[in-house]
Amino acid sequence: MYNFEFEKPSTVADAVSALGGEDAQALGGGQTLIPTLKQRLAAPSTLVSLGGIPDIQGVCIEDDGSVAIGGATIHATVASEAAGSYPALAALAGQIGDPAVRNRGTIGGSLANNDPAACYPAGALGSGATIITNTRQIAADDFFEGLFSTALEEGEIITTVNFPVPQAASYQKFLQPASRFALVGVYLARFADGVRVAVTGASEDGVFRWSEAEEALNKEFRQDALTGLSINPANMIADLHGSKAYRAHLVSVMTKRAIEACM
Amino acid sequence: MPKDSGIGASSKRREDVRFLTGAGNYTDDINVHGQAYVHFLRSDIAHGRIKSIDTSAAEAMPGVVKVFTGKDFEGVGGMPCGWEVTDKHGAPMQEPPHPILAQGKVRHVGDPIAAVVADSLEQARDAAEAIDLDIEVLPAVMNMKTAAQDGATLVHDDLKNNICYDWQLGETDDAKVDEVFANAAHVTTLDLVNNRLVANPMEPRVAVGEYKPGTGDYTLFTTSQNPHVIRLLMCAFVLGLPEHKVRVVAPDVGGGFGTKIFHYAEEAFCTFAAKACNRPVKWTSSRSEAFMSDAHGRDHVSKIELALDADNNFIGLRTNTYANLGAYLSTFSSSVPTWLHGTLMAGNYKTPVIQVNVKAMFTNTVPVDAYRGAGRPEATYQLERVVDKAARELGVDPIALRRQNFITQFPYDTPVALTYDTGDYNGTMDKLEVAADLAGFAARRAESEANGKLRGLGINCYIEACGIAPSNIVGMLGARAGLYDAATVRVNATGSISVMVGAHSHGQGHETAFPQVVADMIGIDESMVEIVHGDTSKIPFGMGTYGSRSLAVCGSAMVKATEKVIEKAKKIAAHLLEAAEADIELKDGQFSVAGTDKSVAWGDVTLTAYVPHNYPLEVEPGLEETAFYDPANFTYPAGAYACEVEVDPETGQVTVEAFNAADDFGNIVNPMIVDGQVHGGIGQGIGQALLENCAYDEKGQLLSASFMDYAMPRADDVPFYGVDHSSQTPCTHNPLGVKGCGEAGAIGSPPAVVNAVLDALNSGGKAVDHIDMPMSPSRVWAAMNS
């Protein structure tokens, strides 16, 4: 690891200010950033920890019934505190990594990193969440821009993620056997005004919505709604753990299982 | 009735107290006053010619003590290979130099090019980034079959080709083998890969070198399974130092699995650099370095053919294997695909004609050497896969086919150089059939199918050869070392006992099991006995721990030494009791005169040995004996394993639902420790079968270079195991009648898992002959949809 300065502000304003420095880098739970630093693959001048800002931590239910999660909230907190209000999302949080990861990693860090195999991007996109930053509100549909790429500007901090709660939802995660990230993960949420299906782990472009499946399910929400539908393997990820065709196949299987779970 | 102490008791592992409370003393816990840190600059190119290395900028960096390159080691020996294999034409193997730091070429990703010693590790890393390298990239030699062809790019320019040796065992007359196959009623053929593995012990390798200019003494603290072997190799072949000036200490070691047997360049470097820098030098491997510098395991590509007669008797077996040795010869690498592999090709079966062919290849990959089982898993995998395939092709019960061909008469001379002393393969299979409730499998399969899953049952038999010996025979086969072991039993004045052993415990539980033996022989409490291991300044010259040898070989030395102690103690007791030595009996820690009530306690005799006032004049004072033990033969543990899996037909996901092992380990000292050894071995075998895959791309880049891509088995990947070791045919030639249990699980489990998965797929109506390990969901799904 290269040397860096370390700051741990207690307000969002101070964090934004600290991130204004040249090559300053926000630190969420550090579950990706710290290993990267240890391998000397990044050399920020200053690490600005977001872990000391009480305003962006915790889970609460808004007046409209949506679930608001502070950007610096760790996965373990979401797994336990959202279990009553949004069980599918809590279940997703409870399947991330291992207990050590779940007690350090944060929702804001995961969304800002947008790893193509991470779970939270599927949860946010599948739920149609709103990512609230220190400057604006970004719809999940506009937030994820590709591998490790988001709509966030330099120095912009995720303060809250607001999740509308669907009538039913399910996250079906097929584990990559080594990392236990999602080899393919499908988050399906059924709202009164429609169904959303978000897929992580599969695409070379990162998390995406499977619109054909959504259309089919919007016509009729039934177990065999996907019959005849398939994902084009062309832009699926191929690696040691699965071919393009296998990932495309898994998207269908995991979606079908999510439908069954929501019946 | 289970015993509560001594031989046969499940005494709790006394070493676990310190391991589980964080009180262990591992090599990385050792810090020597004034130590500097070394960082190795490792090649990120698989194969390249070093044009220039400019270290001047690095040398000027803050904190830098010295920067070393291959030039600093010209005139210093290279890393030695401990076994010379003779090829089938009588020529010695090709043995290229293996310098401590690369000279002329880099030959694998991870090959150390330069070493920076600095006041801190971060300063060393900073300076390493300032080293200017000019390396001409050469084509990487990755595929063993193309590497063997004429005109292939050479890994070592001075060798005639990339073939280390072309070796053969068994029937030398090709025409005779051809005739057996031509006359066979059925021939089963199988091509398979035994996947490359990374051992990944929990503790990465560490070395601390220290030099005392006042006395000229060196100390090397290192993560080793065999400190005396390291001292001998490093002193005699690498650095040219006299052994009495070098102490090698292997303190608590956090797992070895074979990969810590070998003498590594980093150990020699730290010892050498400690003098060159006049500073202690410490190296701690990162996990990333471990992936590209610890010797890997397995990596065989084989074709096996089994010939059967019209009655399904095995009449011939032929195998052709390409064995990957990597870029350099690691310490015992050459012995693994040959004498530890070809010799096991008979398995549990009385196949009369066997021919084993092995081409060992140099490639631009990390060196490959022994990993839990070392050659024997590769042999078992080939044999048991082809037997299973034959059963399916012939439509016969795989257990019946095995039973029909079992060796039943002992001793048995195999066609591949071994003499099995004892065994009861049918008896062990009987145990398995009961323990695994094979009769209930059909019902369990029906239940799985009702849940939409395919269920398969995989059977496997194995035999292994442990405690490799005797020295005169292995010497004829090319070993450059003896394979005995040694123990010193030092009885203290008040009766407690320190036993200095050549074996090294790095997870095996020697600190508990060895004292059980000595305490049992004397009849004292186990807590009175402690072993000392891992320090060449304290222990006699022993060969360390690998190949499931510790109890069978070093334990035998300990028994011999204890017998000498008891014999001497009886002389003293006879004097004290004013009786004839022949009338003295030792029981429960009391020496008594046979047929009388006269007795003297163990502690009184030991005190007399050291305070010899009332003492037999012809007997030396003191009570300490050493024995060296060179076994007459290998030991032959054997077993039968049953694995049940479920396969999700939609995803190809395999789950291991049940795993039962029936092993014959001969006599057993601590059943709980044996259970644990089998559990660990099966876990590693399931890891190989389903998860672990060390993969390179065609340019020689390591694709599975971290735990993000190299899948280690986790607790929820394995079931609760059933382990039965009540089938016991004691070893006929060592005093304890023990055979060794450390590797059995890793040898016996991979074929059982693979056979089970294939049984599941075929039960679902999909004719699949084979899937290479690891049987990942992706591979299983692809096979089901091919």
Tokens 């084009």, residue located: A232
Arithmetic mean of pLDDT over chain B? 97
Question: pLDDT digits over B665-681, tens only?
Answer: 999 999 999 999 999 99
Name the domain boundary from A113, A129, A163: A163
H, E, C per residue of chain A? CCCCEEECCCCHHHHHHHHCCCCEEEECCCCCHHHHHHCCCCCCCEEEECCCCHHHCCEEECCCCCEEEECCCEHHHHHHHCCCCCHHHHHHHHCCCCHHHHCCCEHHHHHHHCCCCCCHHHHHHHHCCEEEECCCEEEHHHHEEECCEECCCCCCCEEEEEECCCCEEEEEEEECCCCCCEEEEEEEEEECCEEEEEEECCECCCCEECHHHHHHHHHCCCHHHHCCCCCCHHHECCECCECHHHHHHHHHHHHHHHHHHHC
Q: Are residues A12 and A107 in the same domain?
A: yes
The predicted pLDDT at position B174 comes to 98
Tell which residue, B381, B384, B332, B317, has the closest CA to residue B171: B317
d(CA B526, CA B529): 6
The predicted pLDDT at position B497 comes to 98
Question: pLDDT digits over B441-481, tens only?
Answer: 999 999 999 999 999 999 999 999 998 889 988 998 999 98
Question: pLDDT digits over B642-664, tens only?
Answer: 999 999 999 999 999 999 999 99
d(CA B467, CA B483): 8
Question: Which residues on B lie below 8 Å from A39 (Cβ)?
Answer: 288
Phi and psi torsions of B81, nearest 5°: -105, 135
Tell which residue, A249, A131, A138, A114, has the closest CA to residue A186: A249
B695–chain A Cβ distance below 8 A for any pair: yes
Contact B108, B365 (CB under 8 A): yes
Domains B300-469+633-784 and B484-629 are alike in CATH topology: yes
Residue-range definition of the domain harbouring residue A235: 168-262
Question: Which residues on B lie below 8 Å from A239 (Cβ)?
Answer: 709
CB contact under 8 A, B707 and A241: no
Is the bond into B411 cis (omega within 30 degrees of 0)?
Answer: yes
Cα end-to-end span (Å), chain A: 49
CB contact under 8 A, B776 and A39: no
Q: Are residues A88 and A68 in the same domain?
A: yes
Q: Are residues A131 and A177 in the same domain?
A: no
SS3 state of residue B586? strand
The predicted pLDDT at position B2 comes to 66
pLDDT at B620 over 70: yes
Tell which residue, B238, B258, B285, B281, has the closest CA to residue B42: B285
Tokens 């149609």, residue located: A128
The predicted pLDDT at position A223 comes to 86
| Among the partner residues B129, B695, B776, nearest to A177 by beta-carbon distance | B776
Cα end-to-end span (Å), chain B: 55
Question: Which residues on A lie below 8 Å from B707 (Cβ)?
Answer: 178-179
d(CA B615, CA B476): 48
CB contact under 8 A, B776 and A174: no
SS3 state of residue B473? helix
Chain A nearest-CA residue for B776: A241
Q: Are residues A156 and A220 in the same domain?
A: no
Average pLDDT, stretch B594-610? 97
Contact B736, B728 (CB under 8 A): no
Question: Which residues on B lie below 8 Å from A1 (Cβ)?
Answer: 122
Using the Cα atoms of residue B327, residue B332, residue B335 and residue B336 in order, give the sign of their dihedral: negative
Q: Are residues A249 and A153 in the same domain?
A: no
- Chain mean position to CA B350: 27
Amino acid occupying residue A188: L
| Among the partner residues A40, A240, A253, nearest to B709 by beta-carbon distance | A240
B776–chain A Cβ distance below 8 A for any pair: yes
d(CA B135, CA B671): 55
CB contact under 8 A, B122 and A1: yes
Angle formed by the axes of helices B555-577 and B602-610, nearest 10°:
90
Contact A190, A169 (CB under 8 A): yes
Percent pLDDT > 90 in chain B is 98
**In sequence order, what are the beta bridge partners of B186?**
B308
The predicted pLDDT at position B460 comes to 98
Domain boundaries, given as residue ranges, for chain B: 27-138+202-255+260-293, 300-469+633-784, 484-629
Q: Are residues A54 and A95 in the same domain?
A: yes
CATH of the domain at A210: 3.30.390.50
The predicted pLDDT at position B3 comes to 82
A-to-B residue pairs, Cβ atoms closer than 8 angstroms: 49
Question: pLDDT digits over B131-182, tens only?
Answer: 999 999 999 999 999 999 999 999 999 999 999 999 999 999 999 999 999 9
**Helix extents (H) in B131-264:** 144-147, 174-182, 227-233
SS3 state of residue B231? helix
| Among the partner residues B125, B653, B778, nearest to A241 by beta-carbon distance | B778
Task: Kindly indicate the confidence band of residue B1, based on its pLDDT and cuts at 50, 70 and 90.
Answer: low
d(CA B497, CA B523): 13
Percent pLDDT > 70 in chain B is 100
B43–chain A Cβ distance below 8 A for any pair: no
pLDDT at B500 over 60: yes
**Helix extents (H) in B353-439:** 376-394, 398-405, 425-435
Question: Which residues on A lie below 8 Å from B782 (Cβ)?
Answer: 243, 245-246
Name, in order, each residue with C-beta under 8 angstroms of A212's C-beta and a sequence gap of 6 or more.
A229
CATH topology for B27-138+202-255+260-293 is: Aldehyde Oxidoreductase; domain 3 (3.90.1170)
CB contact under 8 A, A246 and B778: yes
A62 to chain B, minimum CA–CA distance in Å?
Answer: 38
Q: Are residues A103 and A232 in the same domain?
A: no
H/E element, B672: helix B671-686
Q: Are residues A16 and A77 in the same domain?
A: yes
**In sequence order, what are the beta bridge partners of B359?**
B166, B322
| Among the partner residues A39, A241, A253, nearest to B288 by beta-carbon distance | A39
Name the domain boundary from A114, A140, A163: A163
B120–chain A Cβ distance below 8 A for any pair: no
d(CA B773, CA B385): 12
Q: ipTM of the assembly?
A: 0.96
CB contact under 8 A, B691 and A39: no
Angle formed by the axes of helices B744-763 and B777-784, nearest 10°:
30
Name the domain boundary from A112, A143, A163: A163
Q: Are residues A224 and A251 in the same domain?
A: yes
The predicted pLDDT at position B200 comes to 97
Question: Which residues on A lie below 8 Å from B691 (Cβ)?
Answer: 177-178
The predicted pLDDT at position A150 comes to 98
Q: Are residues A91 and A41 in the same domain?
A: yes
The upper half-sphere exposure of residue B446, i.e. CA atoms within 13 Å in the direction of its Cβ, equals 4
The answer for A 97-156 residues in CB contact with B (under 8 A) is none
B711 to chain A, minimum CA–CA distance in Å?
Answer: 4
Tell which residue, B18, B158, B174, B153, has the closest CA to residue B99: B158
CATH of the domain at A117: 3.30.465.10
B772–chain A Cβ distance below 8 A for any pair: no
> Structurally, how many domains does chain A consist of?
2
A263–chain B Cβ distance below 8 A for any pair: no
CATH code of the domain occupying B484-629:
3.30.365.10
Name, in order, each residue with C-beta under 8 angstroms of B531's C-beta and a sequence gap of 6 or more.
B498, B499, B500, B501, B505, B510, B511, B514, B515
Question: Which residues on B lie below 8 Å from A40 (Cβ)?
Answer: 125, 129
In the structure encoding, which two tokens stand for residue A203, read together? 């695409």
d(CA B109, CA B130): 19
pLDDT at B429 over 80: yes
pLDDT at B248 over 90: yes
Question: pLDDT digits over B188-224, tens only?
Answer: 999 999 999 999 999 999 999 999 999 999 999 999 9
CATH topology for B300-469+633-784 is: Aldehyde Oxidoreductase; domain 4 (3.30.365)
Phi and psi torsions of B80, nearest 5°: -85, 160
Percent pLDDT > 70 in chain A is 100
A41–chain B Cβ distance below 8 A for any pair: no
Name, in order, each residue with C-beta under 8 angstroms of A9's C-beta and a sequence gap of 6 or more.
A15, A17, A18, A48, A49, A52, A53
B698–chain A Cβ distance below 8 A for any pair: no
How open is the CA angle B191-B763-B427, to the nearest 5 degrees? 75
Contact B206, B285 (CB under 8 A): yes
Best of A172, A173, A241, A256 to mutate (most B CBs within 10 Å, chain B): A241
The answer for A 201-240 residues in CB contact with B (under 8 A) is 239-240
Contact B167, B342 (CB under 8 A): yes
CB contact under 8 A, B778 and A242: yes
Question: Which residues on B lie below 8 Å from A250 (Cβ)?
Answer: 651
| Among the partner residues A178, A179, A246, nearest to B781 by beta-carbon distance | A246
A4 to chain B, minimum CA–CA distance in Å?
Answer: 13
Sheet holding B105-106, edge to edge: B105-106, B48-54, B132-137
d(CA A29, CA A47): 12
The answer for B 127-146 residues in CB contact with A (under 8 A) is 129
Q: Are residues A74 and A12 in the same domain?
A: yes
Tell which residue, B294, B299, B293, has the closest CA to residue B43: B293
B291–chain A Cβ distance below 8 A for any pair: no
Tell which residue, B362, B341, B650, B625, has the closest CA to residue B498: B625
Question: Which residues on A lie below 8 Å from B709 (Cβ)?
Answer: 178-179, 239-241
CB contact under 8 A, B704 and A1: no
Tell which residue, B728, B650, B715, B722, has the closest CA to residue B686: B715
Phi and psi torsions of B583, nearest 5°: -90, 0
Question: Which residues on B lie below 8 Å from A242 (Cβ)?
Answer: 776-778
d(CA A128, CA A113): 18
d(CA B94, CA B342): 19
CB contact under 8 A, A177 and B288: no
Q: Are residues A24 and A151 in the same domain?
A: yes
The upper half-sphere exposure of residue A137, i.e. CA atoms within 13 Å in the direction of its Cβ, equals 8
B649–chain A Cβ distance below 8 A for any pair: no
